[in-house]
Amino acid sequence: MKQLIECVPNFSEGNDPVLLRQITDAISATEGIELLNVDPGKATNRTVVTFVGEPAAVVEAAFQGIRKAAELIDMSRHKGEHPRMGATDVCPLIPIAGISMEETARWAQQLAARVGNELAIPVYLYEEAQQNPARKNLSVIRAGEYEGFFEKIKKTEWKPDFGPVEFPAKTGATVIGARDFLVAYNANLNTTSVRRANSVAFDVRENGRKVKNEKGEDVVQPGACKSVKAIGWYIDEYGIAQVSMNLTNIAITPVHIAFDECVKSAHRRGMRITGSELVGLIPLKAMTDAGKYFLEKQQRSTGVSERELIKIAIKSMGLDELGPFNPDERIIEYRLKRSSGRLVGMTLTAFADETASESPAPGGGSIAAYLGTLGVSLGTMVANLSSHKKGWDERWKEFSDWADKGQALKDALLTMVDEDTNSFNRIMQAFSLPKGTEEEKKARTTEIQAATRYATEVPFKVMQLSYDTFELIRAMAETGNPNSVTDAGVGALCARSAVIGAYLNVKINASGLSDKAFAADILAKAETLCQQAKLAEQEILQVVEGKIGS
């Protein structure tokens, strides 16, 4: 798997677009990285930049961004609402794919050493890149901020990890580290009071607040949410106070829980959360989990499309209150996804035209996968209709769970529509390999066999997925909304056709395999699935006919 690291440097400038463009141009000029997001804040006078790529490219791009920021930003003139200590205030590296936190920390240490040595900027390591437990926490390192660091840096315990031990007035210092994915998230309040916003922040954040115990001693009263840091501030740009939060582990406290805890606290204190604001990007799962959470609170089916879940999350948390929220720009997986599959991204008309053209692909395998998709989509529709049926309120969760299963199968089968065509194209590419020498002939034969095996496995997977849909379709025919029983019947017809159609592709591709043991095994399994699918279809149609005739 390709190693991917995300980098999210925070630059102490949020008002000068020309200056910011020079910094992001310096980052983008590095080959092998993709700039995902630039999120300036006027009141905070701070910009969060997000880019991703392989480790060496990300470290080079980060260095060039830090160098350019050091040239352009004069910290002696900087003012802003957000705590800060340098032109590049903080620069975390985050493991995304194929790389461990330990490896990411080593890359962060390399970047820090280069910044300190080549740019003469004091650098502090933090989080997983920092070995000293007393210096892991960003807020502890940054305490005193820019103004206080002229004296702080002289203290033995605050000697930088890299770079000079004098605090440069123009660039300030930089904190570089490795951490888990952090979500920067602000809840909007219907007040202008920073004091009241802080009261909500103290209720919510893990560190809570100091209170007096019965002995009059100061003790810490923890807040409601673990792995959440929060403060209150006033944003002149919006004319409101916010609870500004860093969610350092969204597996422990997801965004929707932090939002709801703010709602509860604000309500207790006579205020209201009017919406919220995401700074930078967010993982897809955080948004779909939020959508499911709010649907469950409404006792509505969570088995809806991914896009619908995202829409519910946006509206429930008011993420579009202060400005548009475009999921394609704000969700990290969507930004990394170059495009959807060539076939599944087509309109129905274009897909039909492409199938009917002189091109041999898409062919029966892709069509079989799409038949399976349509079959399970009908079953999922019945589940959602049943979940929302008047008078069936006590059964909404039962049908919601069925719809969830249907959505998962639907998404898996949609992937196979393009994958079947891809597997056919791989065979064609293998046959076009050179065969002028014995080595070339051997390599060509090996690749043809590997491609043919894969082209056999793909339709077999379509068979398995399509057969798995019968459980849902049968349940909907038997117990779902009786007004939609014929939809379940059509779903069964589609599922059976998908299994048998994919079987034909398994048979023809397996015939070209030199590994006869593998071919015999997969054909035997495929034949069993065919027989089981035919029987399942008959049983479901009997249920449907019985209900229609009654």
Q: Which member of 16, 82, 404, 515 is catalytic? A: 82
Would the CA dihedral through 170, 173, 179, 185 be positive or negative?
negative
CB neighbour list of residue 321: distance below 8 Å, 6 or more residues apart:
188, 274, 275, 276, 277
CA distance 414 to 426: 19
Whether 184 and 280 have beta carbons less than 8 Å apart is answered as: yes
CB atoms within 10 A of CB 342: 13
Q: How far apart are the first and last CA of the chain?
A: 57
Closest by CA position to 6, among listed 282, 278, 228: 282
- Structure-derived torsion over alpha carbons of residues 301, 305, 309, 315, reported in degrees to the nearest 10: -100
Buried b / exposed e over 128-154, threshold 16 CB at 10 Å, is bbbeeeebbebeebbeeebeebeebbe
CA distance 414 to 390: 32
Closest by CA position to 256, among listed 187, 185, 317: 317
Task: Say which amino acid occupies 69.
Answer: A
Q: Which member of 39, 89, 420, 487 is catalytic? A: 420
Is residue 86 classed as helix, strand or coil in its secondary structure?
A: strand
Residue owning tokens 């997977």: 461
Is residue 47 classed as helix, strand or coil in its secondary structure?
A: strand
Is 82 a known active-site residue? yes
Tell me how far CA of residue 211 lies from CA of 113, 206, 265, in angstroms. 42, 15, 17
Structure tokens at 246: 């860093």
Structure tokens at 149: 């660091």
Catalytic residues: 82, 420
